[in-house]
Amino acid sequence: MELLLVLAIPVLGGVLLAFIGHRPRAADVNVACSFATLAAAALLTYRVIQHGPLTALHENFFVDYFNVFLVSLTAFVGWTTAVFSRSYMRIEREHGKLTAGRLRLYHSMYQSFMFTMLLALLTNNLGILWVAMEAATLTTVLLVSLYRTPESLEAAWKYFILCGVGIAQALFGTILLYFAAAGVLGSGGDALLWTHLILVKHQLEPTVLTLAFVFLLVGYGTKVGLVPLHNWLPDAHAEGPTPISAVLSGLLLNVALYAIVRNKVLVDGALTSGLAGRLMMAFGLASVVVAALFLWRQKDVKRLFAYSSIEHMGIATFAFGMGGPVAVFAALLHMTVHSLTKSAIFFTVGHAAQKTGTQLIEGIRGLVDTNPVIGWGLMLGSLAILGMPPFGVFASEFLILTTAMHDQPWATPILLAALGIAFAAIFSKVQPMVFGETTARRLARPPASMPIFLHLALVLMLGLFIPAYLASWYRAAAALIG
Amino acid sequence: MTLTQQLINLFASLMLLIAFAMLSQRRVQSLIYLFAAQGAVLALNTVVVAAHTGQKHLYFSAALTLLMKVILLPWILHRLIRRLAIRWDVETLINIPTTMLVGIVLVVFAFNLTIPIVALAGTITRSTLGIAMGSVLLAFLMLITRRKAVPQVIGFLAMENGLFFAATSATYGMPMVVELGIALDVLVGTLIFGIFFFHIRETFDSLDIHHLERLKER
């Protein structure tokens, strides 16, 4: 019941906003829909914590400890981003960057995008998971090109073609997986249901699953933004409206990584070689290193943080690849804190760009003087994402590094060096943006400070102590993934 | 070899032939006809497999293919190029003979890659899995060697055709609900491509994606 509500509210919201999305109150409707989704997700989470994993509608949907925390995270960030988007889009409208028609498209697609991500998380069918991931691309592609500038059109085209091609590889992988599963479970709808596959994972044909996993990793990896498949990501983040950058970075990348991890569990069951883990470690490490080096060259602030997202998804992918209860626990924590911190950073960056009229780093100076909320938000957010204690990113990165020292000692110096490079690059660019001299005036309207500081407070809390129920929740999920 | 098997092999070779023909085609109009023809072969092949195996849902997916890939999508594409008044020929990044040679290498690679799977498959269509993979790779090649937006989209859709063929030959098709979902995605995707063409042309006065080269790492 709660599960249906979680899926139905964004669909209804999307349809409703397709009609009234241009009205002045549409942003409030968007916030209300997102809040209703969050409430339903909270109920669903409560139910799962009380009664354990559940399946619904002839096993077409299922919830366990792994996806329920991503569902609540997605619904939560979806809501806070909607709150931010209300302030942000009003200013964009006043600056004459958007017409009413485009706002209608934006609001309707925002809800549809939330739906596709929640569907991807909640479905039990690996085929539907693919369909939902592709639909998530389709709903956001017109949002990336919302401003219709030449650059944004290019970014959207790149996003569309690269993710389309990537996700086609994932479909081939899913077909191969179905082929292997049909040999055990018989052909028919059941052979793609995860709850059935997990029971027979040891009987699946290893050679087929090896090939399938390569295709799945390349396919969904394109959406995670793993190097060398990351080309679309900085462009799409930099050219789209900032609320969309926040949800792409904070949520979509997580959902794509979720798809990889779900498939990895099956492949690990069939193979004894640990090939899936090694492939993920290699892709993850490459992403961390390449992204850290590219951070130095960025002149656009949104591109800077887009590369930082690649880096952090690389860290999480590496940790999932390493496997074991501690590393997986840390990876799940890292997904959570990265999602919260990065969306908070995009909120501040979005307002900063509105204030100064440019996204170029050298054009943004002295945020603390004119808009302390934005300035301090950006500074604290950057320190958090760079892994400074006492924020949550420090906790997850510390766990990942100590596990790596024990399990994969060769990788630790590479990771540490990359983190150091990233720290120097981001800090040296953010510091003058926050504390430099400025002549720019303050923002005409108050910025959305609630989402920024709510996210940062949560990240701070996760760094200082992790509530017992959350920890046991992560541990249960880690046990599922193995 | 039974008649069914011969028919399936015939359709498989037609698939590959059309994939190569698309690669060598210079006119956009003909490219759309070729795409429709590939869809028709795909639908016929699905019907033959359905008749042989008695899998009811394959008839549905054959009908879906016929509707989507032979009628609806080519119609949308034709309308688009009429509305946009596109008459130019297809321009390629590499010349066509070279592309064809690369294509041959890709097909050999595809056959090699699928050998272990083909040995495991019990389906009547298993010998065609290599061809299916080959047509996916050829469509991929077309996607990356074309300069204009419309041929890129046709490459994208042809890739979907290859994947569909792979699903039919390896496993007698995916479960119905998944197939419907994929069909919906392809349709919505094509519509968005269509909207996109207008945006691109409004902004650049041309559909040459060479204009889309501003965003680079500097």
A357 sits in the region (left: phi over 0; alpha: psi -120 to 50; else beta) called: left
Global ipTM: 0.90
Q: What is the rounded CA–CA span in Å between residue A459 and residue A106?
A: 29
Does residue B89 have a pLDDT over 80?
no
Residues A399, A475 contacting (CB under 8 angstroms) = no
- The verdict on A7 touching B (C-beta cutoff 8 Å) is no
Residue B155, pLDDT > 60, answer yes
Q: Which residues lie below 8 Å from residue B83, measured CB to CB, with a gap of 6+?
A: none
Half-sphere exposure of B180 (CA within 13 A, CB side): 6
Cβ partners under 8 Å of residue B6, min gap 6: none
| Interchain CB distance below 8 Å, A130 and B178 | yes
pLDDT at site A272: 81
Average per-residue pLDDT in chain B? 84
| pLDDT over threshold 60, residue A380 | yes
pLDDT digits (tens, 9 = 90+) for A187-202: 766 788 999 999 998 8
**pLDDT for the residue numbered B214:** 67
Omega before residue A10 within 30° of 0, cis: no
Q: What is the mean pLDDT of residues B167-179?
A: 81
Residues 49-108 (B) with a CB less than 8 A from some CB of A: 55
Contact A337, A462 (CB under 8 A): yes
Question: How far separated are the first and last CA of chain A, in Å rounded?
Answer: 30
Q: What is the pLDDT of residues A281-291, one digit of tens each?
A: 999 999 999 99
Separation of alpha carbons B162 and B137, rounded Å: 8
Contacts of A135 in chain B (CB under 8 A): 185, 188
Q: Is B84 exposed, middle or buried (0-12, 13-18, 19+ CB in 10 A)?
A: middle
Locate A433 and state its tokens: 């943006």
pTM assigned to the model = 0.94
Return the pLDDT at B210: 66
* Average pLDDT over chain A, rounded to an integer: 91
Do A252 and A117 form a contact (C-beta atoms < 8 A)? yes
Contacts of B5 (CB under 8 A, 6+ apart): B124
Beta carbons of A217 and A283 less than 8 angstroms apart: yes
Question: Residue B119 and residue A104: Cα distance in Å, rounded?
Answer: 53
pLDDT at residue A75 above 90? yes
Give whole-number Cα distances, B77 to B30, B84, B88, B187, in Å: 12, 10, 15, 12
Identify whether B116 is preceded by a cis peptide bond (ω within 30 of 0).
no
pLDDT of B1: 65
Residues 6+ away with beta carbon under 8 Å from A167: A130, A133, A134, A137, A219, A220, A222, A223
Q: Look at A164-168, A278-282, A289-293, B166-170 and tell me which has the smallest mean pLDDT.
A: B166-170
Percentage of residues of chain A with pLDDT beyond 70: 99
Please state the rounded mean pLDDT for residues A72-101: 92
Stretch A330-336: mean pLDDT: 95
Half-sphere exposure of B179 (CA within 13 A, CB side): 25
With cut-offs at 50, 70 and 90, classify the pLDDT of residue A96: confident
Do B175 and A188 make contact, defined as CB atoms within 8 angstroms?
yes
With a cut of 90, say whether residue A303 has pLDDT above it: yes
Q: Among A340, A479, A316, which residue's Cα sits nearest to residue A404?
A: A316
Q: Which of A145, A155, A187 sits opposite B172 (nearest CB)?
A: A187
Q: In 3D, which of A129, A169, A479 has the Cα closest to residue A332?
A: A479
| Residue where the block lists tokens 């083909």 | B118
Average pLDDT over residues B48-73: 88
Give the pLDDT confidence of A110-149 residue by residue, as tens digits: 999 999 999 999 999 999 999 999 999 999 998 999 998 8
Q: Do B178 and A192 touch (CB under 8 A)?
A: yes
What single letter denotes the amino acid at residue B133?
M
User: Could you give the percent of chain A with pLDDT greater than 90?
Assistant: 66
Answer whether residue A463 shows pLDDT above 80. Answer: yes
**Which tokens belong to B36?**
């429709």
**Across-strand partners of A55?**
A62
Q: How confident is the model at residue B126 (pLDDT cuts 50, 70, 90)?
A: low
Selected residue of B202, B212, B216, B218 to mutate for chain A interface (largest A Cβ count, 10 A) = B212
As given in the structure block, the two tokens for residue A299 are: 């002149």
Question: Least CB-CB distance to A211: which of B117, B209, B213?
Answer: B117
**Per DSSP, what are the bridge partners of residue A20?**
none
pLDDT at B20: 93
B22 touches chain A (CB under 8 A): no
Torsion of CA A59, A63, A64, A65, to 10 degrees: 180
